[in-house]
Structure 1
Amino acid sequence: MDENFQLEPVIRGKEKHYTPNKFLNKLRKAGLNLGFKALHGVATLYCALKSPNMPKEHKLMIVGVLGYFILPIDLIADFLPAVGLADDTVIIVKAISVVYASITDEMKEEGHELLKKIFGENYLPSIEYEI
């Protein structure tokens, strides 16, 4: 699937806040500090965004959440030790609760595969994380 083709109508005009490359760069930098459940949640939202079956209103919410995740300065600055990503985690979990019915097992697995690709052996989901 051509990711940019699927996302173009949804992210048009929002590139200042969200692009797939900005998201993946932030995920690489801050991901393992996020905690595995929130990390898998944000990766699953990213994969859900690419799905042609995800409703447009859910895609718009996901773009907003992923854009917020990308921002280095938000309610709680991401660079603060221990608490910097707490607000991001809350927003990720809330977004998942809203779009949960549209998230498939394939999207969840694609999220795991993305994280394995990015973090390699550092991504150790020893417990099954169900979102």
Structure 2
Amino acid sequence: MEDKEQEDYSKQYSEDSFWYKLFKFAKKAGVKVSYAALLLYYVLKKPNTPKWVKTSILGSLGYFIFPFDAVPDIIPLMGYGDDLGILAIALATAAVYIDEDVKRKAREKLGAFFKEYNEDELKEIDDKTKTK
């Protein structure tokens, strides 16, 4: 995502809009997208996260919230694929700041949306956020 687009999408972000989107669409978005969004949300809340990382997170979460994106979210099986791609870019940027506390908080909140889910789906996201 280019800097200008990131800035535009970051204007779409608000904490209320984020929670509204998750509460309303978590099941449609799926475990991976929801977990990725929650990881980014909790990194965004950390006081030691640098501004440039927060800017990347705000852009990707703004894209997630924005109702008119590249692939409309209402398209079955594909609608949230572009969202996951954008979230994955921000996850790579924020990986250094995703610690066990962030993962714990994200998993706890994920339980509010999904009573049961396959841990392997989370492992796939966690593996992408490991720093070398």
- Residue identity over aligned pairs, in percent, reads 33
The within-5 A match list for 1:36-75 is 36-75=31-70
Q: In the alignment, which of 118, 123, 127 is matched to residue 115 of structure 2?
A: 123
Partner of 2:93: 98
CA distance in 2, matches of 1:64, 1:126: 28
What TM-score, normalized by structure 2, do the two folds share? Answer: 0.78
CA distance in 1, matches of 2:88, 2:115: 20
* Aligned-residue CA RMSD (Å): 1.8
Is 2:103 aligned against 1:108? yes
Unaligned runs of 5+ in 2: 1-8, 127-132
CA distance in 2, matches of 1:105, 1:85: 26
Q: In the alignment, which of 21, 42, 52 is matched to residue 26 of structure 1?
A: 21
C-alpha deviation, 1:114, in angstroms: 1.8
C-alpha deviation, 1:16, in angstroms: 4.8
Q: Which runs of 4+ in 1 moved over 3 A?
A: none
CA distance in 1, matches of 2:72, 2:32: 20
How far does the alpha carbon of each residue in 1:62-87 deviate from its partner, in whole angstroms, 9 at most, with x for none? 01111100011111111222211110
Partner of 1:11: none
CA distance in 1, matches of 2:97, 2:91: 9
How far does the alpha carbon of each residue in 1:13-45 deviate from its partner, in whole angstroms, 9 at most, with x for none? x88511101000001122122232222111010
Aligned length: 115
Contact 2:10 2:63 survives alignment (8 Å): no
Contact 1:62 1:95 survives alignment (8 Å): yes
**Residues 1:15 and 1:84: Cα distance change in structure 2 (over 3 Å):** closer
Unaligned runs of 5+ in 1: 1-13
